[in-house]
Structure 1
Amino acid sequence: MVKNALQAQLLKAGLVDAKQAKKTNKQNQHAKKMGQNDQQQLQAELAQAKQEKQAKDQALDQEKQQQLEQKTVMANIVQMIKQYQIKDTDGEIGYQFIDEGKIKKIYVNQTVYNAIVAGSLLVARLASSNTAQANGYALIPKALAERIEQKMTGYIIGLQQQQQDQSTDEEDPYADYVIPDDLMW
């Protein structure tokens, strides 16, 4: 009945009686069971914390991946604008446009000005509107501007305004009157 050698020696010596040894055994068994339950509960909590950490890490990795993809798209757009921009546009005619609520002005020659007014060339930013550094502007063909606008908005100036201007209201009493865009003040 005695499981422990120390308990057997204590019983032989008469320091402990059988009742106390039995009680001590029961307490030890109860402590072991409780310890196992606590350990199982602790392991369950650790497993749950590990799963939560993995889910959080996965969400952070996904967010970082999206940011990296967005930066890649932005770099590709800037590269496309720089590659296909119309060069030799310097001239004496000022073309004014609105960018982020401010009137900006670039100087172009007559043929480029006519192309801008006709809508075949559009003004593009060399940096996105959500970045703080606006390096300048470039003139690009309309087809390229539409492709860029499909990928990411904020680079092409005036494209949405042109599309809104083209969709006129049917009940507009002034729809028959053409408003010239190339007026010089």
Structure 2
Amino acid sequence: MAKNALQAQLLKAGLVDNKKAQQINKQNQHAKRTGEQTDAEVKQALAEAQARKLEKDQQLNQEKQRLLEEKTLKANILQMIKQHQLRDTSGDISYQFIDQSKVKKIYITQKIYDQVVAGHIAIGRLEDSYALLPRPLADRIDEKMTGFIVVANTKGEQQIDEEDPYAAYVIPDDLMW
């Protein structure tokens, strides 16, 4: 039989047959047993989904902003290198250095060579080539973002072992090959 008054009225009017009423009753009972969500639960789940989406969107925006700032910083550094690189440095003396586990070679003058070895001039990466930069500028670039300065020699104090039999012999660190 019909469980509620509306079903009873629909049956009396002949708009719904007994079979259809029983099917609706079974669907209602199934919904109650399986715990289908009510309107309040649906609204709460929707609000939680919107909150998660908003949080995800904020994280994506932060990531995009970080990437944009990094790209801008790289462009600024490249511009600084282009503006302040030393010009007319090509010569007949080769200076070899390691860049990303590969030995690279540039040809410079003897005066520039001595300054690079002494640490007054640094070698920086400029797109697909290299640029010679004054040391203070190279230090500022390296503070902002690493990876642009390839060679920045320093004259550090070397520790001398008292028992070393070859301690009296100076080994140059800029051997010409």
TM-superposition CA deviations, 1:40-88 (whole Å, max 9, x none): 1000000000000000000011011111111111111111111000000
Q: Which consecutive residues of structure 1, in runs of 5 or more, have no partner in the other structure?
A: 16-26, 128-134
Q: How does 1:1-185 map to 2 (within 5 A)?
A: 38-127=38-127, 135-159=128-152, 162=153, 166=156, 168-169=158-159, 171=161, 173=164, 177-185=169-177
Between the aligned partners of 2:103 and 2:92, the Cα distance in structure 1 is: 18
Displacement after TM superposition at 1:170 (Å):
6.2
Displacement after TM superposition at 1:118 (Å):
1.4
Decide whether aligned partners of structure 1 residues 125 and 175 sit closer, same or farther in structure 2, where only a CA change above 3 A counts: farther
Q: Report which stretch shifted further, 74-83 or 166-175.
A: 166-175
TM-score, L = length of structure 2: 0.73
Between the aligned partners of 2:55 and 2:168, the Cα distance in structure 1 is: 60
The amino acid that maps onto 1:51 is A
What SS does the aligned partner of 1:166 have? coil
Aligned residues: 154
The amino acid that maps onto 2:144 is K
Please identify runs of 4+ aligned residues in structure 1 that moved more than 3 A: 167-178
Displacement after TM superposition at 1:176 (Å):
6.2
Displacement after TM superposition at 1:119 (Å):
1.1
Between the aligned partners of 1:155 and 1:122, the Cα distance in structure 2 is: 11
What SS does the aligned partner of 1:103 have? strand
Decide whether aligned partners of structure 1 residues 87 and 111 sit closer, same or farther in structure 2, where only a CA change above 3 A counts: same
Between the aligned partners of 2:59 and 2:116, the Cα distance in structure 1 is: 45
Q: Which consecutive residues of structure 2, in runs of 5 or more, have no partner in the other structure?
A: 15-24
Between the aligned partners of 1:171 and 1:183, the Cα distance in structure 2 is: 22
CA RMSD of aligned residues (A): 3.1
TM-score, L = length of structure 1: 0.70
- What percentage of residue pairs aligned between the two structures are identical? 48
What SS does the aligned partner of 1:111 have? helix
Displacement after TM superposition at 1:177 (Å):
4.9
Decide whether aligned partners of structure 1 residues 142 and 91 sit closer, same or farther in structure 2, where only a CA change above 3 A counts: same
What SS does the aligned partner of 2:132 have? strand
- Aligned partner of 1:18 in structure 2 is none
Between the aligned partners of 1:84 and 1:150, the Cα distance in structure 2 is: 17
- Aligned partner of 1:20 in structure 2 is none
Decide whether aligned partners of structure 1 residues 149 and 167 sit closer, same or farther in structure 2, where only a CA change above 3 A counts: farther
Larger helix share, 1 or 2: 1
Displacement after TM superposition at 1:184 (Å):
2.0
